Amino acid sequence: MRKCPVDDFTLKTETYEGVAIDVCPHCSGVWLDAGELESVQAAQASDFRDVPTSGAMDSVRAAEGMAQARSETPRNCVVCNSGLVQKEYAFASQIIIDQCPKGHGMWLDKDELARLEMFYEDQEDLDKILASMENEGKGLGGFFTRLWGNLRG
């Protein structure tokens, strides 16, 4: 029986975007076993692109959340009881996750799963825009080509 690393409540199994995840009924935190985040992101049953940015992805709130996360009481893995390691999910995501050092999974506090999905979708959109710009000669490669051509001509 898995226990919440925050408040020791028994985690309940729920289906989220077709993936069985463990959720705390008290604090709404989520335990994702190894590979489950990738499965959720691949499913993309929920599209967070239309969620107002004054909500979960507000930069000031995210920075406050990062500072608060850094001051939390250390937590343990729900599988092996090892101390979870805090790290930012990806560069500039402003989302601190608690990850098992042995690779069993990660703990996400309330709303962090939705914020991770929003971040993932934003990155996906940015990658598409940059690829489109490169194809049209408007990306960095196109910029340098135009710059070099202007300098020579």
Question: For 65-84, how does the pLDDT look when each residue is reduced to its tens digit (9 = 90+)?
Answer: 666 766 678 899 999 999 99
Report whether 79 contacts 101 (CB < 8 A). no
Q: Over the stretch 83-113, which tens digit does the pLDDT of each residue have?
A: 999 998 887 778 889 999 999 999 999 988 9
| Two tokens, residue 30 | 């989520």
Question: Domain limits of the chain?
Answer: 12-152
Partners of 12 in the β-ladder: 23
Phi/psi-derived region of residue 99, left when phi > 0, alpha when psi is between -120 and 50, beta in every other case: beta
Cβ-based neighbours of 135, under 8 Å, separated by 6 or more: none
Residue 75 vs residues 12, 94, 141: alpha-carbon distances, Å: 18, 19, 45
